[in-house]
Amino acid sequence: MRREEYIVYRIKFKNYLDAVKFLGDLAQIAERLGHHPDVELKYVNLVLKLTTHDAGNRVTDRDLALAREIDRLVESYRDRISAVE
């Protein structure tokens, strides 16, 4: 049995346009870091999964660096977010 590790964010935005803008800002960060999350957007609900696929779907320093950037981005969108898990 293979064990997979992820860092998961579930973010609920107050409206769709803010969710899309957040995702665009995140895309810029991911490109800069050369590390990209798995993304699922359903209306105002965004799910981000961070793992390093070429390390066997394990959490690595690359995921932790991206998570720190996501935390900063979430903070900057605080007034446009309803909930974060």
Helices marked H in the chain? 16-33, 61-76
Confidence of residue 1 (pLDDT cuts 50, 70, 90): low
Domains of the chain, residue spans: 7-84
pTM for this model (two decimals): 0.93
Size (the chain), residues: 85
**Can you name the residues that pair with 50 across neighbouring β-strands?**
7
Q: CATH class for domain 7-84?
A: alpha beta
How high is the pLDDT of residue 25?
99
For residues 83 and 12, is the Cβ–Cβ distance under 8 A? Answer: yes
pLDDT tens digits along 30-82:
999 999 999 999 999 999 999 999 998 899 999 999 999 999 999 999 999 99
Task: Give the orientation angle of helix 61-76 with respect to helix 16-33, to 10 degrees.
Answer: 140
